[in-house]
Structures are given as structure tokens and as C-alpha cells.
Amino acid sequence: MPGPPEPVLRAAVRWLERLAVSGAPRVRALFTAHSDYSDITPTQYDAAYAWLCETGLLEDLHSSVPAHRRVLDAAIAHSRAPWLSDADLLVRGPGELPDDVLRAAEALGLSDSEAYAQLAAVWGKADAGERARIGAAGELALVDLLTASTEARVEHVAAWSDGYGYDVSVHAPRHRAHLEVKTTLRRSRLTVYVSRNEYETMLRDPDWELVAVRLTADLELQAVATVPRDWIAAQAPADRSGRGRWESCRFDVPPDVPVPGVSRITPALAEGASRLLSGAAGWPG
């Protein structure tokens, strides 16, 4: 986890605690003159202040979250660590925390369990935001591709409502499809989240299909495939009683499961339609 060294992290905590009651010039003078703060150098205090500015932590000095926890959250979120996007798979418990996170937590007086809980929270926020951004781009890319490849009426249903249980509808004179779109940038991993409403729509709607869209890092459409509904049904959890009900489920789809193209709209494809939709372009594993 590349980030500030441990003295700078501790200095950042002191800045946040003191800035809540005093202005920056007085706090800087305190750190420089008082022996209680001499274990950290003026240069490290300056580096910590600059880092707090970069991370936005100075924008809410009266947060109810303890300063040392805010600092660890920011250190993780702004680390640009390559493992962070896959932290849900790579770090499954406190014993699997990267050494840099452990050292930062120790410097801030946090236990391994507390550090793991904060890592999970940071990953969850980052993942939700990234999924929303990528998901919207994937839906728009598929709508554009369908519009250019068929004379059917294509509607971006998710643009006005998320209650239908699918994102895109395709209506041809004698054919229709209701497509739930899940988007990824990864080549080696397809993880999709299906809501209870989407799943129950699949069960009752024969026109429903889950379409996986793969984009490049520049959000350009790269591949399209269908995840078979019988595979989804076989993996989905089951309610054990009327007092418990799952509302969302994550599916980690193996590379050999997606079927290239979108079979339900094949009859509606125009001549010269994109090979991505017909399945001829494949689905890179």
C-alpha cells in the first residue's frame, strides 16, 4: 500500500485532532515549539498537512469518526494499491492483510481486526462507485450497439426506472428481449450482482437474459456474452424460511460459462450487424 510513511500518518492524526479547535498557524507553531510533539519533525508535519489537503480530509474537521480511523481510511483509499480492486478475493480476513496496511494500522493504534473492517468498508465504497460508473457505461454502449445492429425498437429502461428487473428492452415485430446488463473491465474475472427483483423477473419472464458486457479501460465495447439463466438459477441461494429473505446475490462466473453474443436478439439482427451480438467475436477468457 504505497502511501505516507508511519510518522506522517501519526502527524496527520495530530493535525486533525488539533485543527478541530485551532487554526493551522497556531497548530503548526505548537508542533514546532512544544516538546510533546518533537518525536515528529517539522518536515513530516508539513508533509502530513499536504497529504491531508490532497485526500480531502481537511474538508470535514468536525467529523464524528475518530481521527486515526479517518487517516487509515484515506491511506487505503488513496494508495492506488493494485490489489485494492480485488481486495474482496485477496484479503478474506485479518490474517491476510498486506504488510503495509498492518504497519499503518499499528502506527495508528488499530488492531488487525479493526484494520480489516476498515479495509472492507473502503473497498465496498470504492467498488460500489466503480460498479455504478462502469455499469452505466456498459448499458449505454450496448444500447448504441443494438440500435445500430437492428431495426427493432430499443429502449434503455434503466434510464427511467430500476424496477422492471432489466435494463434494456428490444422489441421487433415478432420478437422481443429484456436484457439485464452487467459490465466488467476485467478479462479474467466476471463478478455480477443480481438483485432479488432481477432474479424473480428472470424466473417469470421468458424474454429475460443476463448480458455480460466487457469494456476496455477507456470504456470502449470489447465483448458481449450471455450468462445462461439455468446456470444462474443453479447458483442462487434459497430462503430457508419465511422469516429470512435474500435481497442481493453476488455471482462469480467462471470463464467457460458466458455464451458469446445475445441469443434472444439474434433473429432481429440486421444484415451486417455487429459480430459482438451474433457471438462470432467470442468472449475472451
pLDDT of residue 1: 53
pLDDT of residue 285: 65
Q: Which residue, chain included where needed, has cell 501519526?
A: 10
pLDDT of residue 43: 95
Task: Return the axis-axis angle of helices 6-19 and 67-77, rounded to nearest 10°.
Answer: 130
pLDDT of residue 161: 92
Give the SS3 label for residue 21: coil
pLDDT of residue 233: 96
Return d(Cα 2, Cα 15) in angstroms, integer: 21
pLDDT of residue 105: 94
Q: What is the DSSP letter of 269?
A: B
Q: Which three cell numbers stand for residue 83?
A: 490489489
Closest CA to 78 of 122, 127, 111, 13: 122
pLDDT of residue 14: 96
Residues of the chain with CATH 3.40.1350: 130-278
SS3 of 133-202: the string is HHHHHHHHHHHHHHHHHECCEEEEHHHCCCCCCCCEEEEECCEEEEEEEEEECCCCCEEEEEEHHHHHHH
pLDDT along the chain (285 residues), means of 10: 84 95 94 93 96 94 93 90 84 92 93 93 84 93 94 93 94 91 89 95 96 94 95 95 93 94 88 89 81
Please determine, looking at this structure, whether the domain spanning 130-278 carries the CATH number 3.40.1350: yes
CB within 8 Å of 34: residues ≥ 6 apart: none
Q: What is the pTM of this model?
A: 0.77
Q: Which three cell numbers stand for residue 260?
A: 458469446
Return d(Cα 127, Cα 251) in angstroms, integer: 15
Amino acid, res. 59: E
Return d(Cα 143, Cα 125) in angstroms, integer: 27
CB within 8 Å of 1: residues ≥ 6 apart: 75, 76, 79, 81, 98, 100, 101, 104
